[in-house]
Chain A
Amino acid sequence: MSFCQKCKLVPGTILLRLRDLYCNDCFLTNVSHKFRACIGKNRILTQNENVLICLNGGLGSTILLNLVLNGLALNNHKKLLITPVFFHLIGTEENKSFTKLLIEQCMNQNYDINLCHISEYMIKIKSKPKLNHIPERNEEAHVEMKKKLSDMSSSTRNDYLAKIKRELFICYAKELQCNSIFTAETSTTLAIKLISNLSLGRGSQVQHDIGFCDNRNEVKILRPIKDITLEEIQHYITISQLTPLNVRHAQEYSLQSVAKLFVNDLQQNFQSTISTICKTAEKIGIQNENKHKIKCLICESGINKNQCKLTALEATNYSKIVSMAQQESTSGIGSPIEQQFSMFPHVNKYLCYACSKNYSEMKSTVPLNI
């Protein structure tokens, strides 16, 4: 019988990455240490500040809730010094019984949860979040939202939804007097997100989208369980006897679904896949961070006015031009025709490359206030 590699006192019960053996206690300690270390070393929270904690009932969300509550319950110097404000955004396809289970999950722990519909995105003056109850839905906005989403390809929809959620989290954080937000993204989800985002042309935004802190807005989005893998979460949930809700991911065939399948498959065969991808992500930063005067209206990323002589953006536009116009009109480079058909509406003016691409797929062009 092999012993726990940490304490070396008791037999190991949990094998991680096919090689690291831990006992239950050491394992749980290690997971919560990762959570604490992530928040602690970044020194980003002030004492007892309000933190919007975004929950969706899934694995990551369940463990985040548990780690936060455990941290708050401590009575020593390790006590988590925040005031949690739990929050859930109700999706357009979410059924009521699911939402009710999530409310229960929170109330069983004697905490309240704030709820809002994602379709509020379509409305300028948003309704206030409801406490422990499903708020009434604005049907018009709901229908409009569904229509808008169904007009897009699935890859664009996934990406756009992520941006909508980000914007709403920030909006409701402000509403609820929070300066920080916790999301429940794990290292597994972030590795997948890195691959998907690269394929969407979001390479310059990696630090904010994958890293610990997204500070594009004055309200910061933090990812305190970003160093915890799905494998660890599954063990944690079993040991702690938590009951995550069954979040239904009706994932269609998309860039994101391909990335997910790819990362999970590769991880099966090469146990270092996710950690390598995440380590790569940590080294990626932002070009001339302080020089960005213009921000994308959808994702708030800084827009870099052409750093390079030539990028895939110009090359793509040029491809379109030479495929559409007759030879004489395109032989001269830099001709006025170059301006006429851009594949990227509002790019580098109001929108970043990827958001502009998304935007070009939208049939109804709300609510970009250009």
Chain B
Amino acid sequence: MPVLCRTGCGEKAVLKRPKTGDALCKNCFYHAFETEIHYTITKGELFNKGESVAIAASGGKDSTVLAHVMKTLNKRYEYGLNLMLLSIDEGITGYRDDSLETVKQNRDDYEMPLKILSYKDLYGWTMDEIVAQIGRKNNCTFCGVFRRQALDRGAAMLNVKCIATGHNADDIAETVLMNVLRGDIARLKRCTSISTGSEGTIPRVKPLKYTYEKEIVMYAHYKKLVYFSTECVFAPNAYRGHARALLKDMEKIRPSCIMDIIYSGETMAVKEDVSLPTQRLCVRCKFVSSQEVCKACVLLEGLNKGLPRLGIGKSSKAKKMLEEYNSKLEHSAKERAIQDLNDHKVINGSDKCSSKGKSCKSGLCKSKKKYTEIDNHVNKCCNSDCSGRCKCNQSNDKENEGNTKINTLLEQYGINESSNDSGIDQNKLDVPNNDIVEDLLNQEEDPCSGSCGKMGSLQIGF
């Protein structure tokens, strides 16, 4: 007995939706997947007609699917949006080569303009140059802080009204748990909102907020979308790592817990007497900051003055260093230095530079070690740090054998098309063996996909 599509369209079902458990045919899955995102966009009032929207593109699955779906929906529902892709290149030799190739592929496939902005464009320094200055020990701080602002600076350069990022439901639920674990009440409150950005800043929106990661992978697979599969985690942010492990365990028990955690975050309030860090605009660069001068500007000042360690660690320390430095300067020289700084190609707009360099342990900051690895391995990892957890699929080869994630997903949620009509065991379909699949999932690509795998630009905003 073939399993028929739940919608009653008459077709044979090919998969069981991870999110709802319903068996659907390919077309009905596409329809459900896309229509849900359309629902999120319209109900959440994410865009206005005629706007220019930058899609933060990393070449990863989330941003690739986002670009594809945005393109589709923009046409189908006549949003009238002017879509473009925005990628950030940190300037680490070898690091972005494959993902940027993938983004270029996205550009061609979806016929959208692509702007790749480098740290050199945005800050005047590449990460390679910064590493040469600072050494590998602290470059993590720079990369985290710069990355957090990069999209805003990029969007300001492109003059877009809005940035769409590929954060999916899993990312958001995980971030809720992470912020509970690290006691970050301000981010806990912010992280579930579908659109962020205070007055005077470019809002960021998350059209995939309610979309399950598993469905994103399956959609990309069936649609044969080309994306860059993975990155390696050399030093995952400890909190995010724990939150992810917890979420995976909970999801095994109850898949809907992802939505339930998001709901918890959405309906939660911060007590009135709790003081949250106030967000203001950095007096230098005019991007959002929790201090008078944002962290990025402090770091840049250090770099430009040949005091690269400035801003690493406590801000009081930075102040002291700066005072010492300034006291050594002649008045005129100081003026000149400040003038230099202000002339520096730093435009306007921005995000929070507030994180005390802590959260930058995510993402590229793996470059701490990754950087070395990339040199040695010519890119794409798998060194001993991965201890086999990371499959490190060789990039955009969608037929790659190493891509076991989709295979395990298909094993669990796919309904075998080629089998003859009697080939489907109804019970098997209803009671998937979650544990095995989850174990497999946990062993491979996954550990890399959020804390570092978001390829920079998407890992921001929480």
Contacts and interface: CB of A to CB of B under 8 A. Distances in A.
Contact of A255 (B39, B183, B254): B254
B274 A283 contact: yes
Interface string A193-224: 01101111111101100000000000000000
Nearest to B245: A262
Contacts, number: 172
A333 interface: yes
Contacts of B256: 316, 357
A253 B253 contact: yes
B259 A312 contact: yes
B7 A326 contact: yes
A314 to B, nearest CB: 7
A201 B35 contact: no
Given A153-B254, A323-B6, A315 B269 contact: no
Nearest to A308: B266
A180 interface: no
Interface string B41-68: 0111100000000000000000000000
B19 A319 contact: yes
B254 A280 contact: no
B267 A203 contact: yes
Interface in B154-208: 176-177, 179-185, 188, 194
B249 interface: yes
Contacts of A207: 271
Contacts of B269: 204, 284-288
B271 A195 contact: no
B250 A258 contact: yes
Contact of A285 (B179, B264, B272): B272
- Chain A CB count within 10 A is highest, among B19, B188, B250, for B250
Interface in A300-355: 304, 307-316, 318-320, 322-327, 330-331, 333, 353-354
Contacts of B42: 333
Nearest to B248: A258
A283 B270 CA distance: 6
A277 B181 contact: yes
A194 B176 CA distance: 12
A323 B246 contact: no
Interface string B242-276: 10011001100110110111111111111110100
Contact of B253 (A202, A255, A282, A314): A255
Interface stretch (B24-32, B291-299, B412-420): B24-32
A174 B457 CA distance: 57
A254 interface: yes
- Chain B CB count within 10 A is highest, among A203, A282, A316, for A203
A198 B264 contact: yes
A307 B8 contact: no
Contacts of B257: 199-200, 255
Interface of B is mostly: helix
B254 A155 contact: yes
B7 A327 contact: yes
B285 to A, nearest CB: 30
B180 A194 contact: yes
B270 A309 contact: no
- Chain B CB count within 10 A is highest, among A254, A287, A309, A323, for A323
A315 B215 CA distance: 15
A111 to B, nearest CB: 37
B329 interface: no
B181 A198 contact: no
Contact of B194 (A203, A258, A282, A310): A310
B32 A323 contact: yes
Contacts of A316: 210, 256, 259
Contacts of B180: 194-195, 198, 277, 280
A194 B265 CA distance: 12
A147 interface: no
A73 to B, nearest CB: 36
**What is the interface residue range for chain B against chain A?**
35 or more
Contact of A323 (B24, B177, B263): B24
A284 B19 contact: no
B7 A195 contact: no
B106 to A, nearest CB: 26
A279 interface: yes
B41 to A, nearest CB: 10
Nearest to B31: A327
B267 A304 contact: yes
B210 A323 contact: no
B17 A311 contact: no
Contact of A319 (B32, B188, B261): B32
A276 interface: yes
A198 B36 contact: no
Nearest to A281: B180
A333 B9 CA distance: 20
A283 B271 contact: yes
A288 B264 CA distance: 16
Contacts of A310: 40, 43-44, 194
Contacts of B6: 323-324
A276 B39 contact: no
B210 A312 contact: yes
B438 interface: no
A262 B249 contact: yes
Interface of A: 153, 155, 194-195, 197-204, 206-207, 253-255, 258-259, 262, 266, 273, 276-277, 279-280, 282-288, 304, 307-316, 318-320, 322-327, 330-331, 333, 353-354, 357
A-B pairs, top 8 by smallest CB distance, nearest first, are A203-B264, A285-B271, A201-B260, A204-B267, A312-B263, A323-B22, A315-B210, A203-B268
28 contacts: A155-B253, A198-B260, A199-B250, A199-B260, A201-B259, A202-B264, A203-B263, A203-B265, A255-B257, A258-B246, A258-B253, A259-B246, A259-B250, A262-B242, A262-B245, A273-B181, A283-B274, A287-B267, A312-B262, A315-B259, A319-B17, A322-B35, A323-B7, A324-B22, A327-B9, A327-B31, A333-B38, A333-B43
Given A204-B269, A262-B246, 17 more contacts: A198-B260, A200-B257, A201-B261, A203-B261, A204-B264, A255-B250, A258-B250, A262-B242, A266-B242, A277-B180, A280-B184, A283-B185, A283-B271, A315-B210, A316-B256, A327-B31, A353-B267
